Amino acid sequence: MLIKVRKSWELKDSDVTAQSLYLNRRQIMAGAGIAIATAALPSLAFGKAYDSAVKTKYGDDETLTSFKDITSYNNFYEFGTDKRDPSRTARALTTKPWSIKVEGECNKPGTYNLEDILKNQTVEERVYRLRCVEAWSMVIPWNGIPMANILSQFEPNSNAKYVQFDTLFRPEEMWGQKRRFLTWPYQEALRMDEAMHPLTLAAIGLYGDTLPKQNGAPIRLVVPWKYGFKSIKSIVAIRFTRRRPKTSWNMMNAREYGFYANVNPAVDHPRWAQDRERRIGDFFKTDTKLFNGYASEVASLYDGMNLRTNY
């Protein structure tokens, strides 16, 4: 007799969280003295809040980072290098209409409206940790769609070994792009097996509402076992390639920012240790977990690889 063990991302139809429950949870958290900026909820770029979303099993034992901290402490250099800059300046970004150009090793290249890409997709609620190289992290309740569901629409062919993503380049709205410390537009990439992994998410919201501009509206990548700079924001291009593409931070400083960027407490950043981290909102640090705590799901992707060399 074959007994199937349900993976953490495989859900029952009954695993649904209504927005009203999220709002109630936020009211409870606020009553407990946890700062929640309900007045700062973003306007809805695509029609409505996520009244219900399929809920994953992740994060049941996690304390969520407050909405206020998630939306006011950001790395989004297109809007400034200070972590408080994006929440102040990203309001200039126009997010509708929004299209994504698809090219490379696929059967359905073209330019697609985001509404068409998202049509008929089931939105999932996933509580994921996002770990940054500066030794801080957040626990964020994302709303999104498995990236595999997005990429499959374009029918990547057998030559597609990697997928590259581009951020919007619009200096008149993203004033940080007028500075040349990075090569714009911002680019990131994954191996196809990483991009198609069930944990990899195309996020379009958080805390049950539309994704705020400073967090990468209207659509961003979330790869929870990698450092945050891999989770590219405000995506406007998807490119399937045979060879490993160049990526922005790796081009800027390959010694400090490897292509894989898997969270590994045994591999320090050249300028600071990575074996400990501090959750935003917490006073004390905690031990960093291999693959950010997702080793049981993703370690097999790197069987036989030297994780110090391929950092």
* Per-residue pLDDT reduced to its tens digit, 278-295: 999 999 999 999 999 999
In a domain, 5, yes or no: no
In a domain, 9, yes or no: no
Q: Is 306 exposed, middle or buried (0-12, 13-18, 19+ CB in 10 A)?
A: exposed
CATH number of the domain to which 20 belongs:
3.90.420.10
What phi and psi, each to the nearest 5 degrees, are found at residue 94? -95, 120
In a domain, 307, yes or no: no
Q: Is the pLDDT of residue 81 over 70?
A: yes
Higher confidence at residue 180 or residue 86? Answer: 86
Q: Tell me the pLDDT band of 58, cut-offs 50, 70 and 90.
A: confident
The number of domains in the chain is 1
Residue-number span of the structural domain to which 123 is assigned: 16-302
Q: Is the pLDDT of residue 15 over 50?
A: no
In a domain, 295, yes or no: yes
In a domain, 11, yes or no: no
Question: Which tokens go with 93?
Answer: 């970004």
In a domain, 7, yes or no: no
Higher confidence at residue 46 or residue 272? Answer: 272
In a domain, 1, yes or no: no
In a domain, 186, yes or no: yes
Please give the Cα distance from 84 to 187 (Å, whole number).
22
Q: Is the pLDDT of residue 136 over 50?
A: yes
Please give the Cα distance from 212 to 92 (Å, whole number).
12
